[in-house]
Amino acid sequence: MSRVEFEPSLKKTLSHLEDALQQLIENQEREIDLSIFRAASEVEHVAFLLSQELGENYISTRPRRQRKRSLDLGPSLTVAHDLVMQAIEHTNDLRACYAKLSECRSIIAAVQEELFQRSLRTGQ
């Protein structure tokens, strides 16, 4: 697998995360859901492809809600964005790229869970 195959998806992920950060700044929570969903979709796709290439057992991320307090979305999205940038830098080392994306997947899943919990609290 060459980086040409998945680098465009990683760049789309960056764009979706940047959109989500902008929407967070503009307090557009309904639009954030779609941007996060799109980012998650791209990350899951690339992580799956890399897992197949590396012979890893792929397990779709499921958020693990361990804390009772709310997740701060801005810093979480920023960390996810940084991890995707690092994954792009490591596209020549597929295992390092996969590790960065695995961490990013967990963060995005936690953000999705937080958005879901917020929607339950507000009734939207």
Cα–Cα distance, 89 to 102 (Å, whole number): 15
Percent of the chain residues topping a pLDDT of 90: 60
- pLDDT band with cut points at 50, 70 and 90 for residue 29: confident
Instruction: Name the average pLDDT for the chain.
Output: 87
- pLDDT per residue as tens digits for the range 52-107: 888 877 665 554 555 567 789 999 999 999 999 999 999 889 999 999 999 999 99
What's the pLDDT at 97? Answer: 93
- pLDDT band with cut points at 50, 70 and 90 for residue 124: low
Q: List, in order of start, the domains of the chain with CATH numbers.
A: 3-122 (1.20.120)
What's the pLDDT at 67? Answer: 52
Q: Is the Cβ–Cβ distance between 44 and 88 less than 8 Å?
A: no
Residue located via tokens 């953000």: 111
Write the DSSP assignment of 21-33 as a string of letters.
HHHHHTT-HHHHH
What's the pLDDT at 3? Answer: 59
* pTM assigned to the model: 0.86
